[in-house]
Each structure stands twice: as C-alpha cells, then as structure tokens.
Structure 1
Amino acid sequence: MRIFLLFFVCFILGGPTECGKIVADLEKTNITVKWFTSFENQAVEFSIWYGFPTPAVIFIGFSDHGDVNNTDGILFYPKYEKVEDVWIDRNYHLQSDWSQDINVLRVTRSHFVFRRKLVTCDPKDYAFQAGTTEFLVAANWKSERVGNMQSNDWKWDKKFDLVVEKQESRTIQEETIGEEVDSKVVLVNSNSKEPLPGVETTYKCIIRRMPFSTQKRKFHIIRMEPFVAKGNEHLVHHMEVFLCRDEVEEWNGDCNDPQKPKKSSTCSHVIAAWAMGEGPIVYPSEAGLPFGGNGQDEYVMVEIHYNNVEKLTGVMDNSGFQFTVTENLRKYDAAIMELGLIYSDANSIPPGQKAFPISGYCPSQCTRFLPEGGINIFGSQLHAHLTGRKLWTSHYRNGVKIGEINRDDHYSPHWQHLQEIKPYINVQPGDVLTTTCVYDTRKRDKMTLGGYGIADEMCVNYIYYYPASNVEVCKSAISNTTLRQYFRQRYQETNPSTPISQLYANVDWTPSRAEELFNLYSVGNLKMDCLQSHGDRFPFISDDKRQSWNNMAKPRFHSNPTVETRDPYECPAMNDLVNFD
C-alpha cells in the first residue's frame, strides 16, 4: 500500500528493484546517482551516470549533516576508469582511505557501478542507516589534480534522500490508489496581492470555507498535497493545516495581525503538517481524516512559515494545500497528534554544544485518554530547525522501552519527509512516548531559545494514526517552577518577573554549566500540554496533590537490554564525528 510517495521499496518478491535516485545539477552537466539496497547482503549498489562534457574528476560524497569536510566519498577518474575510496579531512583536503571498502562492478563511458556494505566499521566510512542521507556531488572539468576541495574548480550540489528503510518494510509493494468515484479536490491557497514582508521569519494564515456544504454530511480527507508556488521553494519552510471548530470568516494575512478574525482562535485542530522536501500525504485504505456533519460549515486554516534569510522584498506567493475528499467513508477516522517539546524558551540549548539532547514526554497521565484498544500509528514526521541533528521517538510500556516510532540520526531541516510506519505501531492507554532531539550549537555564541523562528529551535514528531482520539497535543517542557528554583539557587536570580530568555542570557555558558543544565532537563519536573482537539487541557488525575500539569514528575524508565544498537567505539563510522581537538 502506498502511504507516502517518498517511501522506497527495496525488495519485491526477493528480487532487487531501484530504491532511489537523485539528480545533481552541476554547471556543465547533470550527474545521476541511483541505488539498490539489499538487507540480505547488508550492502548498497550505486550506479553513477554522467553526461557530456565529461568531467575530469567526479566526487560522490556521503555527509552526516551536509558539511564538505569530514565527509566520506568516492572519487572517479573517467579517463582512466579508476574508482577510489576517499574522505575529506577537516581542512578540506581529500585523502585516500587506508581501507578500500568499495567493490567496483562495472565501468563504461557513461556510468560506473560499485557496491559497498551498509556498515564497514571503518572510521572514515559513512554508515548507511535508516533516516536521511545527505549526498554531496561534485565535478571538476579543469584538472585531474584534486587539491583542496574548496577550490573554485569544483562545482557542487547537495541532495537528500533515503538509502535505508526499516527492514520490516522491504517486502511491501506499492498499490496504486485510484480516485474515489465521488472525490472532490479542494485547493486552499493565498489570493493576496500583497508581497511578503522583507523579514527573515513570517507566519501567514489563510482561512477558507470548504466550497461545498458540510453541514449535514460527514466527509473523509484521503489525500493532502502541498502546493508551493514555483520559484518560492526556498522560502516556504513548512506549513500546518487546521480545522476550525466554529464558523469563521475567510481571511488572509499575517498570523499575528490584530485584525485577524477573533473566531480564528478556534482553528486549532491540526490535520496536516508539511515541511520542505516532503511529498503528499496519502491515507491507508482503511482510514480517512473526518470533517463535516456537525451542523455548520467547515473552515480550514493553512499556516505557512516563510524563511526569508536574504530578506527579499516584493516576493509574491500563492502557496497552500490541496485536499482530496470523499463521501465514501472508510472504516476508521484518522487523526494527527503532536509529540515532543512545547514551543517555549524554557526548552533552550547552550552555545558551543556538539550534541546536546532534550526530550519531550507524552506520559501515561495523558495517554490514558486514548481509546480502549489504543491507536495504530501509520506515519511519522520528525521536525526541528537549523541545529537539530538526531531525532527519534521511543515507546515505553510499564517503564520498559519496547521500540521506537521513528528515528533519523542524520536529520536535515532542508529535506524532511513523512516516514511510513509498517507494520503499524499500537500505542495503548498508559504507554509513554518520549521524543528526543540532539542539537549541535558549536557555531553559535548565544543561547538557542525554543520557539517558532528559524533561528529558534523545535522538537516535534507529528504522528498519523487511527482510530481518532481527542488527544491532539502531548508535549512537555521543563517546569517553570523547577527552572526558576534552579536559577535562584545557582545564580541568585530572585526576580520572578525576569523573562526566562533573559535568565539564560545572563549566564556565561561554560561546559560545566551546560552539563548542569542538561542534568536539570534530565531529572527536573515537567510542564505538560496534554491538549484536547479544541485546545483545552484534559483534567489532571493523580493521587499526589502536589503535582499538576504545570509541575509534574518526569516518567521513570529502566532500559531494555534487548534493544540493539551499533556501538560507535566498537564499530566506528564517519557519522560519529569523534573529535580529538
């Protein structure tokens, strides 16, 4: 079954098929990289195709987070039909790998083919794992002498894709989903004649009424597809779609505009989230997203986050979302839930950190409100901003980790995707879900605050599931009580009106102080958003009268020794970025 178009099937009935393809657009020609992934052989077979004029040298690199230095790669000299296993050091110089871990299968005038193990245990090789792989493709037409990879002779392109999927998914075949006989297509986009403001971060809201009557009849949305105006792909960072709980009025403008309709506050029920690099959302045949039939017209709101780094002016945009809806209701109502960290400056990261983790919790006190038989998760989208490096959600039952919902150890904010979950993961009432994000702030000299701006940080997992529940948001932050107590005891900050962002700004974040904050985040009490679809919190139920949603003890776990991981000290890879400075 095809749930998301970015899902690659690596095996069909035991035989290999194409897992993926990228096309790098270089100055004089395109270079195409295709691959097949074999779980049985634990290897990837790559074929590299190039056009004319033929480059003197071609480089295909695998980067952990898009940096050119500290990158694994393959170097190819077309004239000599020579392929070499190489890596780029921290000073951008290309080095031949002591261990040549590639097996060249074929070389022709138009392409070459090689095979490599997913994990070689060579510290200068990239370990192919589930999640994002960043490709660095480069060519040099002027000289066969490699030299410094920062030379202007090299022409570069960066691409993102999935080389490895979860092993359980490898035998799933795509199933073409035909259009429902009575399906309707609805486009919700901006008709504004006003250009985008010349600022870095803008949130634009578009409120539209469904163009057909929804008062008496219930519908299912079975497909949601982003529409990004051509030429604005670099500006549209992400979009969220909300159903409105009240009849509003159509509107288009800045989400923070005081003229925004007051009833737009009821547009809080998230039904979709899209981010740069993502494809359409196609629901499984047994479920659809419900709306209508409540005696009033349905309105939807599309919220668009623009990341205008260059602060361009005069840009017109008509982006939005397209929905396919049907009256032919499916067996289950589907829904989307937000996991992770509350958008709050309480969740902030000190500067100069190589790998600083923060976890957001969805505890048993909130999952108790799930349906009696639990929910079945069929899709997951992880989301962070510029310093996010590793993101995942763990699943606990009775205090023991029993698995993960989704993981991306090579996350990039520039290429995000919905990950199909197959087989579906059943989450029972009382289970705990934790979403962890690991941040790299080595290039920053100030605190990175949690928040909405692109320079701020987020940690979110949007999970798609059925049957629908009334739990819409299950996210946390360090409690304000715990945080202010820490600053009072450690830094004598006693003024209760001092903004949290200022408390962080007042600290000189040495390594030991950053470690202290990490320890506080790891054990301190939580502020919880356990929100219903209309935005209100569920009632807090506990025998401990000292606790509440605003000051709740963190869930306690113990580890499951059966969870298998690659130990970076036993089997190293370029991804580990061990720093000996």
Structure 2
Amino acid sequence: MMFFLSTTLCTLAFAALVAAQSSTDLAWIPFDRDQFSNNTALDNDGNVQLFWKIGDDYSSYGIASRSNGYLALGFSETGAMTGADMALGYKADNGSFMLENRHAQGFVRPDVSPDQTVNMRFKEGDQSDNLTHFIFDKKNMADCLETQVDVMRDSWQWFIYAHSDSNTFSQHKEGQMGKQYVKLGTGKDISLNVVSTVGNAKNFTVIQPELTIPAKETSYCYTLHKMPAGKKNFLVGEQPGEAGSMLHHLVLYACYDLPDSYLDMLGKDANCDAQAVKNPCNGFVTEWAPGMAGRTFEPGFGKPFGEDLYQYAMLEVHYNNPDLIDGVKDTTGYSFSWTDQQVETEIGSLTTGALQGDGWFLDPGKELVTISRVCTPDCTRNWPEEGITAVAVFHHMHFRGVNTWVQIIRDGKEITPLSTLRHFEYGYQFSKTLNEIKLLPGDRLITTCQYNTMNDTQPVPGGPSSADEMCFAWIDYYPANSILACTEVDLSLIPSSPINGSAGFCLDYTKDDPIFSSASTLTADYEHLPPSGNNCSATDGGTATGPAILQTCPETDVCFSLNVPASSKTNLERRAEPGDIFFQLSAPTSYSWVALGQGTTMSNANIFVMYSSADGKNVTLSPRTATGHVMPTHDTAASISLLEGSGIANGKMIANVRCSNCKNTMALSGGDSDWIYAHLKGPSIASDDLETPVSQHDDHGAFKWDLSKATGGSSPNPFLAAGSSTTSSSSSSAQPSLRLVQAHGAMASLAFVAIFPIGAILVRLANLSHLAWIHGAIQLLGYAIFIAAAGIGISLAKQGSYLSKPHAGIGLFLLAVLFFMPIVGALQHRLYKKVHKRTVWSYGHIFTGRVAVVLGMINGGLGLKLADAPSRYKIVYGVFAGLSGSLYIGAMIFGEMKSASERKKAVALEKESSGSSTECRRSPTTLFATSCFMASRSIFFLAHPNCFFFRILPRSPTNNRFASRSPCSLLIRIYRRCSDVALRSPASWPVLSRVDEWSASASSITAVATLALHFLTTNEDMKLHLLTIAGLIILATPLHAAGVTDGDSCTRDELGQKRCEKDGGHVMLCSNKNACVKYPAQ
C-alpha cells in the first residue's frame, strides 16, 4: 500500500503523457480538424478522438474512432450513463450514415429522444476503412426536456463514449467504452480533477494501518494524524489510495483546538467504535467516494494548515459489510502534495446540507422525496465584505440519491444556482468544477437532495449507516475564512438545548461554540424551485378552479385539445415522474383518419392516429412513430388509455386520451410546444387493429401550444370535468404541399442554374447577329419562370410562416432587383449605341446581374436545407449548380479580359492616328485638382449617403440654402472647386471619365450589398436605415452617366490639343471618334 501511494503520481503522470502523445498523431482523422479549436483523446490509446468548438447558442463536436461499427458520444452530468444526452452514429442498411439523439434512463439501452432536429443538428458522418466519424452541433442550453443536458461550455464536462464492430446498436463489449472529464471552455479553474506534478512540492501520506473489517453492516473507523510541521503550510494536490471492495467512503477532517485527550490516538490502530471516539473534528479537508479521482489546485492556490490553523487531522473510514463477512483485511489513505511557501490565494471549504445526520426521515414508496437545508444570511454575513468565490462543489448522498443542487437566494430572489447535479450515481461521485461563482455576505444557500424510495417499505432515516441517507455539499472557495459549516439543525433533538425547534447553525473555528440564529431566517419557500438546466419555469402554472384546456382547430371541423394537470408539471419541475397528460382528437366521420403528433416533423415524432373501430360505434386510437416521411408504425411502448366520452356520435369521432409515459417524448413545461397534425378524407377504416395500414394524408400542418394555458386542475378526465376552462388557440398553419415545394424548387433552379447563366455567357462570348435581342429574350424567359417560382414560394412561405427565413428574404430581394433589370438593360443598350462604350447603366446592369445569378444559386441550396430535402436532391443540385456557376464565372472573367484587350488596341490605334500633338500636358495645378476631384467624388457618392438626397434635388435658391446648411456643404464646395479646375484642362478628362465609370460600378455593387443586408438583418431599425441608404444610392447612380453625343467635331487649340466649346454651361469632351460629348454638370 505504501508503495502504491508513493508511486501513484508518477504512474498517472506517465499515463497522461502516453495519452497526450497518442492524441497528437491525428493524421488518420477523416475530417478537417481545422474547423475545431480543441481536441482530446477519450481513451488511453488515442483511438477515440474528440474535437470541439464552443459557440454562443450551439457548439460543434466531431468524434472519430478506429472502429467499423456504431459510435456513440454522451453528454453526462456525472460520467455515468444515467441521464446522458447521447449522439449515436451508424451506417444504415441502405448505406447512408445516420445520427440519432438518444437519452439513457440508466445502464440500459438508450431511448430515441423526441427531438431529433433542435437539440442536436447532424452535419456529416461516414464509415469506411475501419474508421467511423461524425460531426454535429449541440445546443448549449437545453430545452425543457428531461432527455436533454446543458453543455458546461465554460467549465468541465463529462463525456462518455462507446463503439462497436457492428452497426447494430446493442451493448458494447468490454474495453469499447469509457468516460473523460474534459475542460471545454475558457472559464477559470482552480480545482482540477486530475493529478499532476507540482513544482517544489513535498509529499506526505495519511494512512490507516491495516485492520480486519468488523463483521457488521456499517463500521466507522478513526485514526488521528499529525500534519507536517510549520506555522502555515498549504495542500496543493491530493490522491486517494487504492479502494477495497467494502470501502464506502472516507473523510479527512481538520481538528481545530483538538482536546488533549485525543492525542493518545496518534500512531495507534484504527478505532472502529464510533460512539467511543465521538469525532470532535469538524473542519473539512477532503473526501473520497466511489468514482472520485485525485485533484490538483492551479499554481498559486492551496488549502492552508499549520500551527496557526490546525495541526491534526482525523481520518474517518466508512466500511460497508452487508453480508457480515469476517476476516477481510484492508488499509487505505491519502497521498498529499504540500508546500511551506505562501500561496497567492488560500482555498477554504464550507460544509452545507444535513450536517445533523439523524432525526430526519424519507417517506417510503415514493419516486421522489425531497429534503432541503438552509444556510442562513446570519451566517454568511460573517464572510469578507467583498464576498467569496466558489470554485468546486462535492455533492454526496447514498444509494437512493437522484438529484441534488445548491440554490442562491439574494435579496429575496433566486439567482443562478451555485451547482446542480441531476441523475446522481453513487458509484460516479466527483468534485464538480465551477466557473468561479461569486457569493456575497447575506446570501441564503439552500442545499436540496432528492431520493427514490420506491424499494423501501419503512421510513428511511438520515444517518451514518450505508442503509441510511445523507445530504451534503462541500464547497471549495477563496479566499479562505473561519466559517467551516453553515446549515440548519433541529435543536429539539439536542437534550441540553433550551430551544425547541429549527435554528440556523454556523460553525466558526475562531469561536468556542456554534452560532445559532432564529427560525425566522429559515424558509421552505424555495425548496421546490427546479435546479438549473433544461430551462423549465420555476412557477406552478396550475389553477385551483378546474382543468385548463387549450384547444386548437386547424380546420373548421378538426380540433385538438390538451390538458396538463398541475401535479404533472410540478413533478416534472422537481425532476420526478411527470405523471399523466390528457388530450383530445375530434373530427367528423367523413375523415378516414386524423392524427396528432408532438414535434416539428414526422421523424421520431410521438403520433396518435384516430380512426373508426370495426363496429362503427367507437374509435381506435393507435400510438405510432415514424423514422421519416413514411407510414408510421405502431409504438408498443406508449402507455395510453381511451377515457369516457370517446366514441362516435352524431357523425363525429372523439378520442379522449390519457398518456401515462409521455415524459419521454413531450416537454410539459416552458412556453410554446411544437405539434403536427395530418388527416385523410374518405371512407372509414373500420378496424380495431392498432397496426392497420393507413393511406397517405391529403393535408397536414403544424401549430404551437402555449403550455401555460393548458396547465391546471387535477381531474381524471378533464374533458368531462365540471368547471373546466377552455382556451382557444389559433396558431396553426398548414404545411406546404410537397408538389408545390418541388415545383417552386425546380422552376427557380431552372432559371438561376440554367437560363440566366446561358443568356449571360452568350452575350459575353458569342458573335451573333442581333445578339442583344437574343440575350434579352433568354433573360426574359428566365425572369418569367422565376416570377412563377417566386409566386409559388411566397404562397408556401405564408402557409408555413417561412417569410422570416433567409431563403425567403433573399428570394424577395432577387425578385425586386430583377424587376428593374429589363428596363436598365434596354436603357444601357440604347446609350451604348450612341457613345460606343459602357456607361453607368451598363455597369449597373452587368454587375447587378452577376450578383443576382450567384446569389440565386446559393439561395437554391438554402431552399433545399429549409425544405429538409433528401441528401440525393442536395447532391444533384450541388453538382449542377457548381458546374454552372464555374462556367458562368469563368466566362465572365474571360469576357472582361477580352474587352480590356480590345480597349487597349483601340487606344493604341487612336494614338497612332492622332500623332504626338494629342499628347496630354498636365500642369501641377491640374494634377492636384484631378486628385482632389477623385477623392471628393468618391467620398461624395460612396461614404456619405445623406449627400445623395441633395445631389438629386433640382437647382433652386431654396435648395442652395438647404445645401449650405447641410452636413455635406463643405464636402460639396470642395468637390465643385476641384472639379471646376480639373475640367478646365482637357488632359484631365479621360481620368475624370474613368472615375465616373468606377464610381458608377461601386454604387451599383454597394446598392446590391446594402439591400442584401437589409433582408438578412433582424433588427427593424437597421432594416429601415439600410433600405434608405440603398434607395438613395440607386436614385443617385444615374447622375454618374455620361451625356449624349453632340454633332460637332472637335477642334484643335493653339497648342494642338483637341477642344470643344462649352454648350449651355456644360463642358464638352472629345470622344475617341473625334466627336464632342457633353460632360455632366456638377
């Protein structure tokens, strides 16, 4: 045993080094590792690798295993299977890779979770070459579903994993599973659940000498130990020894002011007579329980001990020997790392919970029994004025423990809980690392424990025995202070106490006696508030009058109703079995069948199908489930009952239903709940068979129910109960017709992937007569098809409430932009015939068209994602859109290069024909004015949208006065002065003309980008601002356009340069064809 304790640190350090080395050999990982920010090996050999990247709402995870079967990754609160939120990846029989979200009720086969789309979102996965991998996103904050788990994104998270050589999901083999406590985020950690070497630290051990375990069910054995000498030392790491099979737990207590009579225990064998010892030590140093590993404090932190605090420690070892076996030998203990150097921050420990071990009992035969103990403000006011910072919590119960948490009540209101631990497993205990939670003087802490006593027939006492129960939360915090324990006690159980009843209990090691506070500081008001996680409401939405029924009628003659009893919701919030829920289906007999389901899609939804029974007098209710958009199959696991009032009467089918196990598939708390429905009109099915086939629906839809309006009452049949209150809901929406969805997608794809690119490529590369007319005809055809697709799309979006989705927003934007394209195209063609070069209308038409075509192709992919289209559709579209887009972009680049080459040849020919007399001579003044003109004009049209409004106003004294007062006045004056000087020199005109073309193109692109942002943003104020800017840019863009050709020919001045006279205040430029062209007025 001594050898084990002295070599433990080295062994674990070597194991950690091996794991670290194996995790660096990642060339075999079959996906792009750069998309993640962190990685760790989940097994010691590095054959199971986890990658992750933390996000705000969702975080991304990738897992890869050197195996050729299913692969599962679970998010657990304790490292156990119970309560784990699991992602299961496997290759299906048809060769496709599947990802399922599952929930583990215990150490059994995990069930399929009701939510397969929101909590986890599958991104990619595959299985080949003896490797299995998948990537998915998981929601950080779970919804109000028992099947989901919050992600500890700023702290440490338990991961469990399993893999197999088979894709059949069954129990894994030995060595094909494991767990790992992983640091996910960037939160600060003080206490780490790993053992590591601490520089300049010394080691000492606390050992219980070997003994024979007493042949009785429960034994507490005590040994006293002297701590290393010194005024003040610090524990910086700890590692428990090897645990025997009968070791229940051990605790090391700090002995403050130890009575001299106990010093005789030093160096002696363990004393297993707990009554004789009466442990006087009440400071908490550390504890071990099954599942716990060692831990190390971060550099600069340590737990103080020494002559100024305590010099002795009592080791308490609890043995559990239910079979009364005699003669079993055991020894155990702890190995510590410590230093005599002052640390920067001292760690303290606070005990909360049921410190008074006996005197309380748990009711037998209950699925959930709750006890709470309050740490009073009278005690916490003794903390330092600036408060303390909690860094870790160790929760402890025995075998019946289910859930436990510590709440913080500040100024009468609950804030974020200090710690929550659901699905407690005795064999998986650990010190839960916190992300530094601040506690302030005057805070009330409530420690709550919940137990399952279904297997007990007698009240279960609180006490030290293994058959009894405990409720503790040991909190590590900094800076250390003198408060050791804070809880409540029943003074009537203390014979010498003059007070009868409960009182606050505060233990301060600087005081001779505990500090008691009055019962007025205690409260049970907060006992049943839910622990953090799963985002469930903390209030009871029930009413005391009668059942609250919420009804929705998606059709005039088809209605659905729901009631959630108050007790079911309350039990759910207390993490108990939520109990029954009630719902009703109602429809005329003209329907062949009617179905109601919980969820957003058919896949994995809990579905209830109602149809006529064989005798035509009653109804059959068939619980079903589906793997996708296929006929649902009978669900044998559903526990439902048809209640009184069900049947067929007066031409109407009614099913009053009680569901007893819907907790697995329905969230009974929170706000809106998603539901789906479907029906088929036609002849009666007339069958009592729960598995009878049903034909495909002729209509279906979805709606939301506000569960707060459906919660209340306790009737066994709320639909027949007196005093029931029915509230109507009208949030239903028909789901889009599949044929219309397909027509919309096909037509829009034809327009953007085929017709528009063909028309654009022809006009850039072809050399045909009447090319402009051919181009226009093709694009008009594409636009007509797109208008039809957009009309269908708008109708579908209204039906399914999709107008707020990016796909719909981009589609509307494209519809608006392309509406002007034929007009702009015709105008630019007319101008081009006159000036024989591109104008602003040309650039606006060309670049807006290019952006629209590319954006349309991208939007097609968004549409497929929104429609949840099968993978084969996405692949086909991606291939064709990729090929078309590549050809289109390539043709545009080639066309621009061809145009640039032709322009260079034209300039060279003109220079050759004009001779040297046409060389431009630019004075320094002209160059300065030209630069000034370019800078001010760029700012004027691109960086200051408010100036556009003034720019388009007609000239008048009123407008001139407005301009002088506007923020743009200085910018406008600089622009006008510079342009006046620059325009006096013909040498500057080619540069100014090019600036006009550039600014026109930039304006067009800016307008398109601004409109795109308008449709994508969700901020209403930003939407209005962006729309205004885009409108001003579009209105101002025509002002860049060059004028029309004047009939006069250019003349040469005395310097031999080409000149044109001013014409009505307009400056005339010489074109390449030696014709005078009006330059636009400033």
- Taking structure 1 as the reference length, the TM-score comes to 0.68
Deviation string for 1:217-255 (max 9, x for gaps)? 3222222222225xx2x5433321123333613233244
Alignment partner of 1:554 out of 522, 526, 529: 522
Q: Residue 529 of structure 1 aligns to which amino acid in structure 2? A: F
Cα distance change, pair 226–49 in 1 and its aligned pair in 2 (3 A)? same
| Gap regions ≥5 residues in structure 1 | 7-12, 25-29, 482-495, 497-523, 542-546
Cα distance change, pair 554–112 in 1 and its aligned pair in 2 (3 A)? same
Q: Which residue of structure 2 lines up, in the alignment, with residue 491 of structure 1?
A: none
Query: Structure 2: how far apart are the matches of 1:362 and 1:533?
Result: 17
Alignment partner of 1:36 out of 34, 52, 77: 52
The 5 Å alignment of 1:421-460 reads 421-422=434-435, 424-460=436-472
Q: Which residue of structure 2 lines up, in the alignment, with residue 278 of structure 1?
A: 292
Q: Residue 237 of structure 1 aligns to which amino acid in structure 2? A: H
Cα distance change, pair 536–567 in 1 and its aligned pair in 2 (3 A)? same
Cα distance change, pair 339–539 in 1 and its aligned pair in 2 (3 A)? closer
Please say if 1:238 is aligned against 2:256: no
Deviation at 1:320, TM superposition (A): 0.9
Please say if 1:338 is aligned against 2:307: no
Please say if 1:221 is aligned against 2:238: no
Query: Structure 2: how far apart are the matches of 1:386 and 1:132?
Result: 23
Deviation at 1:396, TM superposition (A): 2.2
Cα distance change, pair 288–269 in 1 and its aligned pair in 2 (3 A)? same
Q: Which residue of structure 2 lines up, in the alignment, with residue 179 of structure 1?
A: 198
Query: Structure 2: how far apart are the matches of 1:376 and 1:162?
Result: 22
Q: Which residue of structure 2 lines up, in the alignment, with residue 406 of structure 1?
A: 419
Please say if 1:528 is aligned against 2:504: yes
- Residues 317-326 or 93-102, more deviating: 93-102
Cα distance change, pair 330–342 in 1 and its aligned pair in 2 (3 A)? same
Q: Residue 554 of structure 1 aligns to which amino acid in structure 2? A: L
Q: Secondary structure at the match of 1:452?
A: coil
Q: Secondary structure at the match of 2:463?
A: coil
- Residues 349-358 or 82-91, more deviating: 82-91
Q: Residue 220 of structure 1 aligns to which amino acid in structure 2? A: F
Q: Residue 305 of structure 2 aligns to which amino acid in structure 1? A: F
Query: Structure 2: how far apart are the matches of 1:389 and 1:166?
Result: 27
Q: Secondary structure at the match of 2:460?
A: coil
Q: Which residue of structure 2 lines up, in the alignment, with residue 195 of structure 1?
A: 212
The 5 Å alignment of 1:384-395 reads 384-395=397-408
Deviation at 1:328, TM superposition (A): 1.0
Please say if 1:85 is aligned against 2:100: yes
Contact 1:204 1:252 in 2 (8 A): no
The 5 Å alignment of 1:353-368 reads 353-368=366-381
Q: Residue 343 of structure 2 aligns to which amino acid in structure 1? A: R
Query: Structure 2: how far apart are the matches of 1:411 and 1:175?
Result: 21
Which structure is higher in strand share? 1
Deviation at 1:472, TM superposition (A): 0.9
Deviation at 1:270, TM superposition (A): 1.9
Q: Which residue of structure 1 lines up, in the alignment, with residue 536 of structure 2?
A: 567
Q: Residue 247 of structure 2 aligns to which amino acid in structure 1? A: V
Q: Which residue of structure 2 lines up, in the alignment, with residue 488 of structure 1?
A: none
Contact 1:347 1:478 in 2 (8 A): no
Contact 1:242 1:300 in 2 (8 A): yes
Contact 1:84 1:96 in 2 (8 A): no
Please say if 1:415 is aligned against 2:428: yes
Contact 2:126 2:133 in 1 (8 A): yes
Q: Secondary structure at the match of 1:365?
A: helix
Q: Which residue of structure 2 lines up, in the alignment, with residue 105 of structure 1?
A: 125
The 5 Å alignment of 1:238-317 reads 238-244=249-255, 245-246=257-258, 248-249=263-264, 250=266, 251-256=268-273, 260=277, 265-294=279-308, 298-308=311-321, 313-317=326-330
Deviation string for 1:391-418 (max 9, x for gaps)? 2212222222233222222322221222
Deviation at 1:175, TM superposition (A): 13
Deviation at 1:474, TM superposition (A): 1.0
Please say if 1:17 is aligned against 2:38: yes
Deviation string for 1:369-392 (max 9, x for gaps)? 223433232222122222222222
Query: Structure 1: how far apart are the matches of 2:192 and 2:212?
Result: 44
| Gap regions ≥5 residues in structure 2 | 1-12, 17-33, 538-563, 580-659, 662-1082
Deviation string for 1:59-89 (max 9, x for gaps)? 6667889678998662635996744527589
Contact 2:42 2:48 in 1 (8 A): yes
Deviation string for 1:148-192 (max 9, x for gaps)? x69xx987987555579688559x9999986343x3210111222
Which structure is higher in helix share? 2
Please say if 1:47 is aligned against 2:63: yes
Q: Residue 85 of structure 1 aligns to which amino acid in structure 2? A: E
Contact 1:224 1:282 in 2 (8 A): yes
Contact 2:97 2:126 in 1 (8 A): no
Query: Structure 2: how far apart are the matches of 1:446 and 1:134?
Result: 37
Query: Structure 2: how far apart are the matches of 1:273 and 1:358?
Result: 22
Q: Secondary structure at the match of 1:252?
A: coil
Deviation string for 1:350-370 (max 9, x for gaps)? 123233322111101212222
Query: Structure 2: how far apart are the matches of 1:379 and 1:70?
Result: 22
Q: Residue 17 of structure 1 aligns to which amino acid in structure 2? A: N
| Percent identical residues | 19
Q: Which residue of structure 1 lines up, in the alignment, with residue 475 of structure 2?
A: 463
Cα distance change, pair 163–289 in 1 and its aligned pair in 2 (3 A)? closer
Contact 1:59 1:139 in 2 (8 A): no
Q: Secondary structure at the match of 1:288?
A: strand
Query: Structure 2: how far apart are the matches of 1:160 and 1:36?
Result: 16
Deviation string for 1:33-52 (max 9, x for gaps)? 7463634352452525355x
Deviation at 1:339, TM superposition (A): 0.8
Cα distance change, pair 564–463 in 1 and its aligned pair in 2 (3 A)? closer
Please say if 1:208 is aligned against 2:225: yes
Cα distance change, pair 476–166 in 1 and its aligned pair in 2 (3 A)? farther
The 5 Å alignment of 1:371-390 reads 371-390=384-403
Q: Secondary structure at the match of 2:239?
A: strand
Query: Structure 2: how far apart are the matches of 1:156 and 1:315?
Result: 30
Query: Structure 1: how far apart are the matches of 2:225 and 2:502?
Result: 37
Q: Which residue of structure 2 lines up, in the alignment, with residue 513 of structure 1?
A: none
Query: Structure 1: how far apart are the matches of 2:397 and 2:113?
Result: 34
Cα distance change, pair 553–14 in 1 and its aligned pair in 2 (3 A)? farther
Query: Structure 1: how far apart are the matches of 2:394 and 2:82?
Result: 27
Contact 2:84 2:149 in 1 (8 A): no
Deviation at 1:31, TM superposition (A): 8.6
Query: Structure 2: how far apart are the matches of 1:294 and 1:120?
Result: 47
Contact 1:39 1:167 in 2 (8 A): no
Q: Residue 509 of structure 2 aligns to which amino acid in structure 1? A: S
Cα distance change, pair 73–463 in 1 and its aligned pair in 2 (3 A)? same
Q: Residue 203 of structure 2 aligns to which amino acid in structure 1? A: V
Deviation at 1:461, TM superposition (A): 1.2
Cα distance change, pair 207–62 in 1 and its aligned pair in 2 (3 A)? same
Query: Structure 1: how far apart are the matches of 2:478 and 2:112?
Result: 51
Contact 2:142 2:533 in 1 (8 A): no
**Larger Cα-atom Rg:** 2
Query: Structure 2: how far apart are the matches of 1:411 and 1:165?
Result: 22
Q: Secondary structure at the match of 2:378?
A: helix
The 5 Å alignment of 1:56-205 reads 74=88, 76=90, 82-85=97-100, 100-101=116-117, 103=122, 104-108=124-128, 109-118=130-139, 125-130=147-152, 135=160, 137=162, 162=181, 168=187, 179-181=198-200, 183-192=201-210, 194-205=211-222
Contact 1:75 1:83 in 2 (8 A): yes
Q: How many residues align?
A: 493
